[in-house]
Amino acid sequence: MSVPKKDRKVQMCVDYRDLTSPDTTKFESPKKIGEKPPSSPCRGTFCYKVMPFRLKNTVATYQRAMVTLFHDMMHKEVEVYVDDMIEKSKMLDQHLGDLRKLFERLRKYRLRLNPVKCTFGVKTRKLLGFIVNQRGIEVDPNKVKDIQNMPPP
């Protein structure tokens, strides 16, 4: 089923429960699968151009791929957590050089960024529910304000 997204693009929604089921009797052998492609009576056959994040091991597979592609930059210039990426530098001229290196690597492996979700040249940024800045990684005060405002026992 196709569902419209906020940006007016279409997202495919698929029920993968049978695909990830341990019962292998539900599926044809690989030889038969290759003989005739599946079809949909509504709009035709669809193939993913990118990895769908809804299957059991896709997140781990994607993270492993990112670590492999950026292994020499990890924890020095770049931090990657699945599809969130941060390039970090202490000085502006170093930042520009590190960004150039990051973009070259992205281009080499034909990876694309969503410009709407990109922010450049910031000193403080929320990432995965934490505040990342020149001091390091800090807890977001909004996440703990209720606990801080609780009366003592």
Residue 105's nearest CA partner among 72, 60, 61 is: 72
User: What pLDDT, on a 0 to 100 scale, did the predictor assign at position 13?
Assistant: 74
153 belongs to a structural domain: no
Q: What confidence category does residue 9 fall into, taking pLDDT thresholds of 50, 70 and 90?
A: confident
Tell me: pLDDT of 34 over 60.
no
**Mean pLDDT to the nearest integer, 18-29:** 52
123 belongs to a structural domain: yes
More confident residue, 77 or 15: 77
Give the count of domains, the chain: 1
On whether the CB atoms of residues 114 and 121 are closer than 8 A, the answer is no
Most confident option among 53-62, 77-86, 92-101: 92-101
Q: What confidence category does residue 21 fall into, taking pLDDT thresholds of 50, 70 and 90?
A: low
More confident residue, 26 or 12: 12
Tell me: pLDDT of 24 over 50.
no
117 belongs to a structural domain: yes
27 belongs to a structural domain: yes
Tell me: pLDDT of 47 over 60.
yes
Q: How far apart are CA 99 and CA 64, in angstroms?
A: 22
User: What pLDDT, on a 0 to 100 scale, did the predictor assign at position 45?
Assistant: 67
22 belongs to a structural domain: yes
4 belongs to a structural domain: no
Q: Which domain holds residue 83?
A: 9-148
User: What pLDDT, on a 0 to 100 scale, did the predictor assign at position 105?
Assistant: 95
103 belongs to a structural domain: yes
Residue 126's nearest CA partner among 106, 101, 143 is: 143
Question: What is the helix (H) or strand (E) element at residue 98, kind and residue range?
Answer: helix 92-108
2 belongs to a structural domain: no
User: What pLDDT, on a 0 to 100 scale, did the predictor assign at position 147?
Assistant: 87
**Mean pLDDT to the nearest integer, 4-20:** 73
Which CATH number covers residue 130? 3.30.70
On whether the CB atoms of residues 144 and 138 are closer than 8 A, the answer is no
Q: How far apart are CA 76 and CA 67, in angstroms?
A: 13
Question: What is the helix (H) or strand (E) element at residue 33, kind and residue range?
Answer: helix 30-35
